[in-house]
Amino acid sequence: MIEVYAPASIGNFSVGFDALGAALAPIDGSLLGDTVVVSASDSDEFVCSGDYAAKLPSDAKENLAFQCLVHFREHIAPSMPSVKLELKKNLPIGSGLGSSACSVVATFAALDKFADTKLSQVQLIELMADFEAIVSGGRHYDNITPCYLGGLQLTGDLIPDKSISLPVDDSWYYVAAFPGFSLNTAKARAVLPSQLSMHASVEFAQRLSAFSALLLTSRFDDALSIMNDEIAEPHRAPLISGFSEAKAALPKLGADVVSISGAGPTLFTVCKSLEAAQRCAQWLEKNYINEQGFCHICKLDSAGTRQL
C-alpha cells in the first residue's frame, strides 16, 4: 500500500500571477491538503472519502483522480496490476488553495511510487499540469509545483525543470482564511482583463523580477515592501464578500501583506511575527469566515508531496 499526501498552496503569491506558488503547513501540525491511498486489488476500484468528498461528482468517471488513474494505466504503466485508489478529499473545492492540484499531484505521485515507474520531476509536473488544466482552464503551474515540490516556487514553461525554489525569511508566518464559500475558478478568471497596457506589463515584470532577486539576496523586508498584486486582485476582490474590509483591517493588526490566494476566495497574510499572525487569525475567525470556513496560521511546507 502507498499513501501520499499533497499540501494546499497559494497560487500567484500576490506578485507572481500564474508564476509563483507556495505550499502551506499549519503550525498546529494538522494536514491541510489531500491524501491518496493506492493498494493492490482484484480489479481497478475508486473510492472518494474525506471531509469534502460529497462536493465532488458521484460518478467516478467525472473525478479527476480517477481520470488520472485511467490515463496512467493506458499511457504510463499498462502492465501495472489492478489497484484500489482512494482519494481522501480534505480540501474544499473552489477555495483558492489548489484543491484540484492537490488531487492530481497526490494521485500521480502515489501511482508513480506504486508502479515504480520512476518518472522524472519534469515528466510528473507536465503530467500533473495537463490534468489540473481540466479544472482551471489552462496549464498553470503555480499550484502544481509548490504542491509537489514544497516551499515557494517560481514556475513556468520558460524555467528550467519548470521550477526554481525561492528562499523566504524563516520568521514569516502565513495566515490562510477560507471564508466558507466557493468561487468558481473559471468565473474568477473571466473577470480579468484580456490585455494589459505596456505600462502595466512592464511594472508586473519589474515587480516579479525584483521580488525574486530580493529573496535570493536575502533582502526579505525589501521583498515584502513591493509585494502587491495589481494584476488580478483589483478585479477579483469585488467577487469576495468581506475581502475589502479584511484588506483594510489586517495591516493595523500587524499583517505586512494581505492578498487573495489563487483565484480566491481564500485570503492570505504574511506576518513577521507569530503574535501578529495570531491577531490576524482572531480577526478573520470573527469577521471573515462562516461556520463552513477555516483559518490556519502556517509556515511554508518545505517537504511538498510525500509518502505517509
Cell numbers placing 8 = 494546499
Cell numbers placing 154 = 517560481
The Cα 144–Cα 107 span in angstroms is 12
The number of angstroms, rounded, from the C-alpha of 257 to the middle of its chain's C-alpha atoms is 18
**CATH class name, domain 173-299:** alpha beta
Confidence of residue 50 (pLDDT cuts 50, 70, 90): very high
Res 134: pLDDT: 80
CB 54 within 8 A of CB 43: no
Q: Mean pLDDT throughout 242-262?
A: 98
Average pLDDT, the chain: 96
Instruction: Provide CB contacts within 8 A for 209, sequence distance 6+.
Output: none
Domain ranges of the chain: 2-166, 173-299
Res 133: pLDDT: 82
Q: Which of 81, 105, 92 is nearest to 21 (CA)?
A: 105
Q: Mean pLDDT throughout 254-277?
A: 98
What's the predicted TM-score (pTM) here? 0.96
**Least confident range of 81-90, 137-146, 167-176, 208-217:** 137-146
The tens digit of pLDDT for each residue in 113-160 reads 999 999 999 999 999 999 888 877 778 899 999 999 999 999 999 999
Question: Quick one: DSSP state of residue 12?
Answer: S
Instruction: Tell me the percentage of the chain whose pLDDT exceeds 70.
Output: 100
Q: Mean pLDDT throughout 89-103?
A: 96
Residue 177 has pLDDT above 80, yes or no: yes
The number of angstroms, rounded, from the C-alpha of 146 to the middle of its chain's C-alpha atoms is 7
Res 58: pLDDT: 84
Residue 249 has pLDDT above 80, yes or no: yes
**Least confident range of 27-31, 96-100, 185-189:** 185-189
Q: Mean pLDDT throughout 235-250?
A: 97
CB 133 within 8 A of CB 63: no
CB 297 within 8 A of CB 255: no
Instruction: Provide CB contacts within 8 A for 302, sequence distance 6+.
Output: 23, 25, 150, 151
CB 259 within 8 A of CB 240: no
**Cβ-count burial of 52 within 10 angstroms (0-12 exposed, 13-18 middle, 19+ buried)?**
middle
User: Is it true that domain 2-166 has CATH number 3.30.230.10?
Assistant: yes
Res 132: pLDDT: 85
Res 148: pLDDT: 98
The Cα 196–Cα 194 span in angstroms is 7
Please state whether beta strands 152-155 and 173-178 pair in parallel, antiparallel, or not at all (unpaired). Answer: unpaired
Q: Mean pLDDT throughout 288-297?
A: 97
298 phi/psi in degrees, rounded to 5: -130, 160
